Amino acid sequence: MKSRRDFVFCGPYGFLLLIMVTARQLFNLHFSKDKEFVKEVFNISGFIPKEVFLYKLALTHSSSLNSVSKKSNKRIAVAKGCNERLEFLGDSVLDSVIAEYLFKIYPLKDEGFLTEMRSKIVNRKSLNAISKQLNIDTLIQHKQSGVVNESMFGDALEAFIGAVYLDLGYRRTKRFIYARIIEPYIQLQKVERQIISHKNKLIEHVQKTKMGMLMFEVIDENGDGRNKTFRIQAKVGQKVLGVGEGRNKKSAEQRASEDALLKLNLIPISSASARI
């Protein structure tokens, strides 16, 4: 007996729908005015897109929208016209797929280990590099001049993942992440050996969430010579994110960053306590 799902796809209406979807994708690839762009998307993802506009949006950086009329609500216009919302979605989907992947690969590891491994895999530097490997960086529409902020590349990769998810669903997005990101570029043994920098992780979070300018401020010094210790706070504007102490400024900044990440719930307590 056929299941309801089998009936939907095997019945006359389901078969017609399947043909229509296939015809639409083939049209996009061979006959549409965007066929060259569609080929680029196909080369990156391995799938022919249905909704081409989603991928164009994923590759549109907010800097390309400076010409928005002052009379309009600029914030809303930018949000609808650039890739930031798709980046938010893609970030969540990528985290979900990587979390499931690590959960299955490491059946005996605890939450702290899995969280740290995921953080290493999806850190901005790694995503920037993968974006370049996939040639996503060459398709981004932006108006940045001079030295380009490379976080734009990783952001576009996450937005692209969001576009695949909305266009083709979770199953194909997961296949894309496995085939085009995890298998060719993620070497788990190498990732395990990486030492996570709490300061870099905090800087990345502050930049990604657009909190403002992160600063490290010495608030106290004790002792002298080899016995000197520094107390430093990590702050954005007047808001103190974390405080830490160390025998030099570098270690104190790391501790302050770790304290901030704990308070922001970005690292588990077990992961932090292991370093104290």
Residue 123 in this model has a pLDDT that exceeds 90:
no
Range with top average pLDDT, 151-155, 159-163, 271-275? 159-163
CATH classification of the domain holding 182: 1.10.1520.10
Residue 95 to residue 158: CA distance in whole angstroms: 10
Residues 45 and 91 occupy one common structural domain: yes
CATH classification of the domain holding 205: 3.30.160.20
pTM for the whole thing? 0.73
Contact 120, 126 (CB under 8 A): yes
Contact 255, 245 (CB under 8 A): yes
Residues 146 and 56 occupy one common structural domain: yes
Residue 225 domain flag: yes
Residue 17 domain flag: no
Tell me the pLDDT tens digit for each residue of 169-181: 999 999 999 999 9
Tell me the pLDDT tens digit for each residue of 213-270: 999 999 999 887 767 889 999 999 999 999 999 888 988 999 999 999 999 988 777 5
DSSP string computed for 177-218:
HIIIIIHHH--HHHHHHPPP-HHHHHHHHHHHTT---EEEEE
Give the domain range for residue 142.
32-193
Tell me the pLDDT tens digit for each residue of 228-237: 889 999 999 9
Residue 64 in this model has a pLDDT that exceeds 80:
yes
Residue 3 in this model has a pLDDT that exceeds 60:
no
Residue 1 in this model has a pLDDT that exceeds 80:
no
Q: How many domains does the chain divide into?
A: 2
Instruction: Name the residues annotated as catalytic.
Output: 91, 158
Residues 164 and 219 occupy one common structural domain: no
Percentage of the chain lying above the pLDDT 70 cut: 83
Residue 64 domain flag: yes
Residues 135 and 185 occupy one common structural domain: yes
Tell me the pLDDT tens digit for each residue of 178-212: 999 999 999 999 999 887 788 888 988 888 888 99
pLDDT band of residue 69 (cuts 50, 70, 90) is: very low
